[in-house]
Every structure is written in C-alpha cells, then in structure tokens.
Amino acid sequence: MIPSTHRIPASDDAEVGAYLEIAEQREAGAAGRTPLPEAPPEAADETPLPGTHETVVVLDFGSQYSMLIARRVRECHVYCELLPHDAPWEQVERLNPRGFILSGGPASVYDEGAPLAPAYVFESRRPVLGICYGMQLLAHQLGGKVAPSPSREYGHAVVRLASPAHPEPSVAVRESNDHAVS
C-alpha cells in the first residue's frame, strides 16, 4: 500500500534536498530500515553508454531540477539523455528511448504560449512520467482538467515501482502552483 501524499504549504522556495532527507528518514523508520546512504561518487561512472541498455529521455520544460532528475535516473544505472522540450523526433529517435520523463517548469498549461509535450511523446506509445508541469501537461493534453492551487505547495510521496528489478521504494518531492483535477 502506498502512503498518502503529505503536503506542506509554503509561500517561497524551499530546499528540496531537506524534504527528500526527511521523507527518506520517515519512510525508512516506518519500515524498520536504516535510510539508504547517498550513492557513492563512482556510481556515476557505472552508467551504461547510449545504445548498450535501455534509455530514458528527460524532456526539459525549464525545471530547476531537470539535471537532478537525469542524474537520479543515471544513478539507477539507466542511460538517460536530458533534451529540450522541443527536441525534434529525429534527435530522440536515434536514442530509441524506452520511455520519457516530462520535467517540471515555471509555466502553467493555461499560459499563452506555454510549451506543450511534442506529439511523438504520445504517438510513440512509450511510458511517460510527468513531474509537476509535466504531469499537468499530460492531463491537459489528454483531455483532463488542470486548475490553479490557492497557494504554492511542497510535499513528498513514496513511490513503489511494479517491477521486481526495483523492489525498494523511492521518495518523490512535489512543488506546485497548479494541480490536475481530472
């Protein structure tokens, strides 16, 4: 069972690393485990080369955490490329990605001229993870509704993948002004 999300309203930017640390400690304590240590620096050297393993493409919509997202994927020994949100399909197709991550960003899906996810994200029929603005894009572009939040929110949630290759839960941090309603 996945615990419910805990939201912490905040009026300004907060240090996400502190939220991750707190969330990992809470989750580890609740499960009777000791928190996982930071990945050793040499873990970055073990990231597979392009074309040798599965690849994930992170499309960057301007999030201050896009490079962190890509780094965390690489720390899981998955090859990952960080590309601009408007990267052409020809550039993405060369990588033969197994899936996409749509990053957050400063825009709202209702802003005039707000960037959209490229059509190939949906047409490729590959798995897509939307983070913050990326999740709002998925809802908006697939016919859902996104609405403004009354205040800025920060929070954490525990994510468990339905894969025997990844049995340990991960902690995710959320920051948002808008939220997907349906």
Residue 87: CB atoms within 10 Å: 17
- Global confidence as pTM: 0.64
Least trusted range by pLDDT, from 36-45, 105-114, 131-140: 36-45
34-65 pLDDT tens trace: 544 454 454 445 555 555 568 999 999 999 89
Cβ partners under 8 Å of residue 182, min gap 6: 139, 144, 145
Does residue 145 surpass a pLDDT of 80? yes
**CATH H-level, domain 6-11+53-180: superfamily:** Class I glutamine amidotransferase (GATase) domain (3.40.50.880)
Least trusted range by pLDDT, from 29-33, 76-80, 122-126, 143-147: 29-33
Average pLDDT, the chain: 78
What residues does each domain of the chain span?
Answer: 6-11+53-180
Helix (H, G, I), strand (E, B) or coil at 45: helix
